[in-house]
Structure 1
Amino acid sequence: METIEIRKIVLNDIEQLQKIGRQTFHDTFSESNAEENMKKYLDEKFSIEKLTEELNNQHSEFYFAILQDEAIGYLKVNFGESQTELKDSKALEIERIYVSKEFHGKKVGQLLYEKAIQIARNKQSEYVWLGVWEENHRAVSFYKKNGFTEFDKHIFRLGNEEQTDLMMKLKLTN
Protein backbone atom coordinates (compact mmCIF):
# COMPACT_ATOMS: atom_id res chain seq x y z
CA MET A 1 0.00 0.00 0.00
CA GLU A 2 1.22 3.51 -0.76
CA THR A 3 2.30 5.88 1.94
CA ILE A 4 -0.42 7.39 4.06
CA GLU A 5 0.17 10.98 5.06
CA ILE A 6 -1.16 12.43 8.33
CA ARG A 7 -2.01 16.09 7.84
CA LYS A 8 -3.53 18.73 10.09
CA ILE A 9 -7.02 19.81 9.03
CA VAL A 10 -7.64 23.52 8.46
CA LEU A 11 -10.82 25.51 7.76
CA ASN A 12 -10.40 25.12 3.99
CA ASP A 13 -10.82 21.35 4.49
CA ILE A 14 -14.18 21.69 6.21
CA GLU A 15 -16.30 20.14 3.45
CA GLN A 16 -13.99 17.14 3.21
CA LEU A 17 -14.09 16.81 7.01
CA GLN A 18 -17.89 16.98 7.02
CA LYS A 19 -18.09 14.34 4.30
CA ILE A 20 -15.75 11.82 5.94
CA GLY A 21 -17.12 12.59 9.41
CA ARG A 22 -20.71 11.86 8.40
CA GLN A 23 -19.81 8.87 6.26
CA THR A 24 -17.62 7.08 8.81
CA PHE A 25 -20.01 7.74 11.71
CA HIS A 26 -22.91 6.44 9.65
CA ASP A 27 -20.97 3.35 8.51
CA THR A 28 -19.92 2.57 12.08
CA PHE A 29 -23.24 3.02 13.88
CA SER A 30 -26.19 2.98 11.46
CA GLU A 31 -26.88 -0.75 11.75
CA SER A 32 -27.32 -0.51 15.51
CA ASN A 33 -29.32 2.72 15.68
CA ALA A 34 -32.66 4.14 14.59
CA GLU A 35 -32.49 6.10 11.33
CA GLU A 36 -34.02 9.27 12.82
CA ASN A 37 -31.55 9.28 15.74
CA MET A 38 -28.67 8.90 13.29
CA LYS A 39 -29.95 11.71 11.09
CA LYS A 40 -30.43 14.08 14.03
CA TYR A 41 -26.95 13.34 15.38
CA LEU A 42 -25.26 13.75 11.99
CA ASP A 43 -27.11 17.01 11.28
CA GLU A 44 -26.14 18.47 14.65
CA LYS A 45 -22.59 17.20 15.14
CA PHE A 46 -21.43 17.47 11.54
CA SER A 47 -23.02 20.75 10.51
CA ILE A 48 -20.68 23.31 8.91
CA GLU A 49 -21.36 25.66 11.86
CA LYS A 50 -20.42 23.06 14.46
CA LEU A 51 -17.30 21.93 12.59
CA THR A 52 -16.20 25.56 12.05
CA GLU A 53 -16.51 26.18 15.78
CA GLU A 54 -14.51 23.01 16.56
CA LEU A 55 -11.80 23.80 13.97
CA ASN A 56 -11.46 27.33 15.39
CA ASN A 57 -11.08 26.01 18.94
CA GLN A 58 -7.44 26.29 19.99
CA HIS A 59 -7.82 23.34 22.39
CA SER A 60 -8.87 20.87 19.69
CA GLU A 61 -6.99 19.56 16.68
CA PHE A 62 -8.10 17.50 13.70
CA TYR A 63 -5.91 15.42 11.37
CA PHE A 64 -6.67 13.58 8.13
CA ALA A 65 -5.13 10.33 7.01
CA ILE A 66 -4.55 11.01 3.31
CA LEU A 67 -3.95 8.42 0.60
CA GLN A 68 -3.51 9.69 -2.99
CA ASP A 69 -5.03 13.08 -2.10
CA GLU A 70 -8.11 11.46 -0.58
CA ALA A 71 -9.06 11.58 3.11
CA ILE A 72 -9.53 7.98 4.25
CA GLY A 73 -9.71 8.63 7.97
CA TYR A 74 -9.46 11.34 10.60
CA LEU A 75 -8.53 12.05 14.18
CA LYS A 76 -9.84 14.61 16.66
CA VAL A 77 -8.03 15.32 19.92
CA ASN A 78 -8.95 17.70 22.74
CA PHE A 79 -6.93 19.12 25.59
CA GLY A 80 -7.54 21.54 28.42
CA GLU A 81 -11.08 22.94 28.54
CA SER A 82 -12.15 21.31 25.29
CA GLN A 83 -12.17 17.80 26.74
CA THR A 84 -15.70 16.43 26.82
CA GLU A 85 -15.15 15.32 30.42
CA LEU A 86 -12.37 15.23 33.03
CA LYS A 87 -10.95 18.61 31.82
CA ASP A 88 -7.61 17.61 33.28
CA SER A 89 -4.74 19.83 32.14
CA LYS A 90 -2.43 16.79 32.39
CA ALA A 91 -4.53 14.77 29.94
CA LEU A 92 -5.32 14.55 26.25
CA GLU A 93 -8.63 13.17 25.00
CA ILE A 94 -8.94 11.22 21.78
CA GLU A 95 -12.49 12.17 20.84
CA ARG A 96 -12.60 10.56 17.42
CA ILE A 97 -10.59 8.16 15.31
CA TYR A 98 -12.60 7.10 12.28
CA VAL A 99 -11.45 5.29 9.17
CA SER A 100 -13.39 4.67 5.94
CA LYS A 101 -14.79 1.15 5.92
CA GLU A 102 -12.75 -0.05 2.95
CA PHE A 103 -9.55 0.79 4.84
CA HIS A 104 -10.40 -1.06 8.07
CA GLY A 105 -7.64 -3.44 9.09
CA LYS A 106 -5.03 -1.57 7.04
CA LYS A 107 -3.30 0.17 9.98
CA VAL A 108 -4.83 3.59 9.20
CA GLY A 109 -6.37 3.80 12.67
CA GLN A 110 -3.03 2.86 14.18
CA LEU A 111 -1.28 5.73 12.33
CA LEU A 112 -3.89 8.22 13.55
CA TYR A 113 -3.63 6.78 17.05
CA GLU A 114 0.17 7.15 17.00
CA LYS A 115 -0.25 10.79 15.92
CA ALA A 116 -2.50 11.37 18.96
CA ILE A 117 0.11 9.83 21.27
CA GLN A 118 2.82 12.00 19.71
CA ILE A 119 0.70 15.14 20.32
CA ALA A 120 0.09 14.04 23.92
CA ARG A 121 3.83 13.58 24.47
CA ASN A 122 4.60 16.97 22.90
CA LYS A 123 2.14 18.55 25.33
CA GLN A 124 3.69 16.61 28.21
CA SER A 125 0.35 14.96 28.97
CA GLU A 126 0.51 12.35 31.72
CA TYR A 127 -2.23 10.23 30.19
CA VAL A 128 -4.55 9.88 27.22
CA TRP A 129 -8.23 8.98 27.66
CA LEU A 130 -11.28 8.35 25.53
CA GLY A 131 -14.85 7.12 25.56
CA VAL A 132 -15.83 4.19 23.34
CA TRP A 133 -19.27 2.61 22.90
CA GLU A 134 -19.32 -0.70 24.75
CA GLU A 135 -20.89 -2.41 21.72
CA ASN A 136 -18.12 -1.23 19.38
CA HIS A 137 -16.03 -4.34 19.98
CA ARG A 138 -13.52 -3.57 17.20
CA ALA A 139 -12.65 -0.23 18.81
CA VAL A 140 -12.57 -1.60 22.36
CA SER A 141 -10.14 -4.34 21.40
CA PHE A 142 -8.03 -1.85 19.38
CA TYR A 143 -7.56 0.34 22.46
CA LYS A 144 -6.92 -2.63 24.76
CA LYS A 145 -4.28 -3.87 22.32
CA ASN A 146 -2.66 -0.43 22.61
CA GLY A 147 -2.53 -0.67 26.40
CA PHE A 148 -5.68 1.23 27.44
CA THR A 149 -7.58 0.13 30.52
CA GLU A 150 -11.18 0.82 31.46
CA PHE A 151 -11.64 3.22 34.39
CA ASP A 152 -15.27 4.37 34.23
CA LYS A 153 -18.45 4.47 32.15
CA HIS A 154 -20.63 7.31 30.97
CA ILE A 155 -23.86 7.75 29.06
CA PHE A 156 -23.73 8.88 25.46
CA ARG A 157 -26.98 10.17 23.95
CA LEU A 158 -27.78 9.43 20.34
CA GLY A 159 -31.11 11.07 19.61
CA ASN A 160 -33.58 9.65 22.14
CA GLU A 161 -31.39 6.66 22.97
CA GLU A 162 -28.96 6.33 25.82
CA GLN A 163 -25.87 4.19 25.29
CA THR A 164 -23.04 3.27 27.57
CA ASP A 165 -19.54 4.35 26.69
CA LEU A 166 -16.56 2.74 28.35
CA MET A 167 -14.05 5.31 29.48
CA MET A 168 -10.51 4.09 28.96
CA LYS A 169 -7.11 5.58 29.68
CA LEU A 170 -3.46 5.04 29.01
CA LYS A 171 -0.77 6.38 31.29
CA LEU A 172 2.17 7.77 29.33
CA THR A 173 5.69 7.07 30.46
CA ASN A 174 8.40 9.39 29.32
Structure 2
Amino acid sequence: MNLNFIPVNEENLTRYLQVGIQSYEEHYLHLWENSDPTPFIDAFLTQQSVKDALKDSHQLFYIIQCNQKDVGILNLTINNEKGNFLSKNNLLLNKIYLLKNYSSLGIGTMTLDFVQNLAKNKQKDVVWLYTMKKGNPLSFYLKHGYKIIKEAFIELPKVLEKEKEMWLMSKNI
Protein backbone atom coordinates (compact mmCIF):
# COMPACT_ATOMS: atom_id res chain seq x y z
CA MET A 1 0.00 0.00 0.00
CA ASN A 2 1.46 3.33 -1.09
CA LEU A 3 0.35 6.10 1.29
CA ASN A 4 1.09 9.80 0.72
CA PHE A 5 0.25 12.94 2.66
CA ILE A 6 -0.28 15.80 0.22
CA PRO A 7 -0.11 19.30 1.77
CA VAL A 8 -3.24 21.29 1.00
CA ASN A 9 -3.01 24.54 -0.95
CA GLU A 10 -5.46 26.61 -2.98
CA GLU A 11 -5.00 24.35 -6.02
CA ASN A 12 -6.09 21.15 -4.27
CA LEU A 13 -8.41 22.66 -1.67
CA THR A 14 -11.56 21.46 -3.48
CA ARG A 15 -10.27 17.86 -3.36
CA TYR A 16 -9.58 18.21 0.37
CA LEU A 17 -13.11 19.50 0.97
CA GLN A 18 -14.76 16.82 -1.17
CA VAL A 19 -13.07 13.90 0.57
CA GLY A 20 -13.40 15.60 3.96
CA ILE A 21 -17.15 16.16 3.66
CA GLN A 22 -17.78 12.70 2.21
CA SER A 23 -15.77 10.93 4.91
CA TYR A 24 -17.36 13.02 7.67
CA GLU A 25 -20.87 12.27 6.40
CA GLU A 26 -20.08 8.56 6.08
CA HIS A 27 -19.11 8.32 9.76
CA TYR A 28 -20.72 11.09 11.81
CA LEU A 29 -24.29 11.89 10.72
CA HIS A 30 -25.57 10.11 13.84
CA LEU A 31 -24.23 12.99 15.96
CA TRP A 32 -26.56 15.61 14.51
CA GLU A 33 -30.19 16.62 14.78
CA ASN A 34 -31.96 15.35 11.64
CA SER A 35 -28.61 13.84 10.50
CA ASP A 36 -27.64 17.33 9.33
CA PRO A 37 -23.93 18.12 9.92
CA THR A 38 -24.21 21.65 8.50
CA PRO A 39 -22.87 23.34 11.70
CA PHE A 40 -19.69 21.25 11.52
CA ILE A 41 -19.21 21.61 7.76
CA ASP A 42 -19.84 25.36 7.92
CA ALA A 43 -17.26 25.71 10.71
CA PHE A 44 -14.50 23.47 9.34
CA LEU A 45 -15.06 22.25 5.78
CA THR A 46 -15.84 25.26 3.58
CA GLN A 47 -13.59 26.98 1.05
CA GLN A 48 -13.43 30.08 3.25
CA SER A 49 -12.81 28.34 6.59
CA VAL A 50 -9.93 26.28 5.23
CA LYS A 51 -8.47 29.18 3.20
CA ASP A 52 -8.47 31.30 6.36
CA ALA A 53 -6.85 28.48 8.37
CA LEU A 54 -4.18 27.96 5.69
CA LYS A 55 -2.96 31.51 6.38
CA ASP A 56 -1.99 30.40 9.90
CA SER A 57 1.45 28.77 9.85
CA HIS A 58 0.42 26.68 12.88
CA GLN A 59 -2.27 24.90 10.83
CA LEU A 60 -1.30 21.90 8.70
CA PHE A 61 -3.75 20.30 6.25
CA TYR A 62 -3.16 17.14 4.20
CA ILE A 63 -5.01 15.01 1.71
CA ILE A 64 -4.38 11.35 2.53
CA GLN A 65 -3.76 9.36 -0.64
CA CYS A 66 -3.62 5.59 -0.96
CA ASN A 67 -2.26 4.29 -4.25
CA GLN A 68 -2.74 7.80 -5.71
CA LYS A 69 -6.44 7.97 -4.76
CA ASP A 70 -7.73 10.58 -2.29
CA VAL A 71 -9.02 8.54 0.67
CA GLY A 72 -9.03 10.94 3.61
CA ILE A 73 -7.94 14.16 5.25
CA LEU A 74 -5.64 15.13 8.09
CA ASN A 75 -5.57 18.43 9.99
CA LEU A 76 -3.05 19.35 12.70
CA THR A 77 -2.31 22.42 14.80
CA ILE A 78 1.18 23.13 16.10
CA ASN A 79 1.42 24.55 19.64
CA ASN A 80 -2.31 24.91 20.19
CA GLU A 81 -3.03 27.29 23.08
CA LYS A 82 -5.63 24.95 24.61
CA GLY A 83 -2.94 22.28 24.91
CA ASN A 84 -0.71 24.43 27.11
CA PHE A 85 -1.79 22.53 30.20
CA LEU A 86 -0.13 19.44 28.65
CA SER A 87 2.86 21.25 27.15
CA LYS A 88 3.37 24.54 25.36
CA ASN A 89 5.27 22.44 22.82
CA ASN A 90 2.37 20.36 21.48
CA LEU A 91 0.71 19.07 18.34
CA LEU A 92 -3.09 18.89 18.21
CA LEU A 93 -4.53 16.20 15.98
CA ASN A 94 -7.74 17.92 14.81
CA LYS A 95 -8.94 15.49 12.17
CA ILE A 96 -8.21 12.13 10.66
CA TYR A 97 -11.18 11.29 8.44
CA LEU A 98 -11.07 8.35 6.07
CA LEU A 99 -13.61 7.33 3.48
CA LYS A 100 -15.60 4.36 4.78
CA ASN A 101 -14.22 1.99 2.11
CA TYR A 102 -10.70 2.73 3.36
CA SER A 103 -11.34 2.28 7.08
CA SER A 104 -9.88 -0.79 8.82
CA LEU A 105 -7.12 -1.22 6.22
CA GLY A 106 -4.25 0.11 8.36
CA ILE A 107 -4.37 3.62 6.87
CA GLY A 108 -5.34 5.13 10.23
CA THR A 109 -2.34 3.49 11.90
CA MET A 110 -0.01 4.70 9.15
CA THR A 111 -1.50 8.17 9.50
CA LEU A 112 -0.88 8.17 13.26
CA ASP A 113 2.72 7.09 12.56
CA PHE A 114 3.03 10.04 10.16
CA VAL A 115 1.63 12.41 12.81
CA GLN A 116 3.96 11.09 15.53
CA ASN A 117 7.00 11.29 13.23
CA LEU A 118 6.04 14.84 12.28
CA ALA A 119 5.74 15.71 15.97
CA LYS A 120 9.19 14.23 16.64
CA ASN A 121 10.71 16.09 13.67
CA LYS A 122 9.19 19.34 14.94
CA GLN A 123 10.48 18.48 18.45
CA LYS A 124 7.04 18.39 20.07
CA ASP A 125 6.53 16.90 23.53
CA VAL A 126 2.97 15.68 23.18
CA VAL A 127 0.28 14.88 20.59
CA TRP A 128 -3.27 15.41 21.79
CA LEU A 129 -6.76 15.10 20.40
CA TYR A 130 -10.45 14.92 21.13
CA THR A 131 -12.41 11.76 20.38
CA MET A 132 -15.95 10.59 20.93
CA LYS A 133 -16.56 8.61 24.12
CA LYS A 134 -18.37 5.96 22.07
CA GLY A 135 -17.29 4.07 19.00
CA ASN A 136 -14.23 2.79 17.21
CA PRO A 137 -11.98 5.88 17.40
CA LEU A 138 -11.63 5.61 21.19
CA SER A 139 -10.37 2.02 21.06
CA PHE A 140 -8.14 2.91 18.09
CA TYR A 141 -6.36 5.68 20.01
CA LEU A 142 -6.10 3.62 23.21
CA LYS A 143 -4.54 0.78 21.19
CA HIS A 144 -1.93 3.23 19.89
CA GLY A 145 -0.85 4.41 23.33
CA TYR A 146 -3.02 7.50 23.82
CA LYS A 147 -4.24 8.10 27.36
CA ILE A 148 -7.49 9.66 28.49
CA ILE A 149 -6.77 13.00 30.18
CA LYS A 150 -10.20 14.44 30.88
CA GLU A 151 -13.79 14.70 29.76
CA ALA A 152 -14.75 17.15 27.00
CA PHE A 153 -17.85 18.03 25.01
CA ILE A 154 -18.69 18.99 21.44
CA GLU A 155 -19.46 22.69 21.52
CA LEU A 156 -21.35 23.13 18.25
CA PRO A 157 -25.08 23.77 17.90
CA LYS A 158 -27.47 20.99 16.93
CA VAL A 159 -25.35 18.09 18.21
CA LEU A 160 -27.62 15.51 19.83
CA GLU A 161 -27.33 15.73 23.61
CA LYS A 162 -26.50 12.01 23.92
CA GLU A 163 -23.58 12.43 21.48
CA LYS A 164 -21.82 15.48 22.98
CA GLU A 165 -19.51 13.59 25.34
CA MET A 166 -15.89 13.28 24.27
CA TRP A 167 -12.49 12.49 25.74
CA LEU A 168 -9.39 14.61 25.54
CA MET A 169 -6.51 12.20 24.97
CA SER A 170 -2.75 12.60 24.67
CA LYS A 171 0.45 10.74 23.99
CA ASN A 172 3.92 11.85 25.02
CA ILE A 173 6.41 11.87 22.16
After TM superposition, the score normalised by the length of structure 1 is 0.88
Determine if contact 1:36/1:159 at 8 Å carries over to the other structure: no
1:89 Cα deviation after fit: 2.6
Paired residues for 1:8-87 under 5 Å: 8-35=7-34, 37-80=36-79, 83=80, 85-87=82-84
1:41 Cα deviation after fit: 2.2
1:139 Cα deviation after fit: 0.6
Q: 1:109 — aligned with what?
A: 108
Q: C-alpha offsets along residues 125-161 of structure 1, whole Å, 9 cap, x if unaligned?
A: 11111000112x2111111011001011112123233
Q: 2:138 — aligned with what?
A: 140
Distance 1:28 1:119 in 2: 26
How has the CA–CA distance of structure 1 residues 69 and 84 changed in structure 2, closer, same or farther, with 3 Å as cutoff? farther
**1:30 match: secondary structure:** helix
Between the two proteins, the alignment pairs up a number of residues equal to: 168
Distance 2:75 2:123 in 1: 18
Distance 2:35 2:98 in 1: 23
Q: Which amino acid is 2:149 matched to?
A: F
Q: Which amino acid is 1:171 matched to?
A: N
**1:12 match: secondary structure:** coil
Q: C-alpha offsets along residues 67-99 of structure 1, whole Å, 9 cap, x if unaligned?
A: 34321012111012xx27224431111011111
Q: 1:159 aligns with which of 152, 157, 160?
A: 157
Misfit runs of 4+, over 3 Å:
none
**1:18 match: secondary structure:** helix
Determine if contact 2:58/2:77 at 8 Å carries over to the other structure: yes
Q: Which amino acid is 1:44 matched to?
A: A
How has the CA–CA distance of structure 1 residues 138 and 3 changed in structure 2, closer, same or farther, with 3 Å as cutoff? same
Q: 1:149 — aligned with what?
A: 147
1:37 Cα deviation after fit: 4.6
Determine if contact 2:154/2:166 at 8 Å carries over to the other structure: yes
**2:22 match: secondary structure:** helix
Deviates more, 1:10-19 or 1:60-69: 60-69
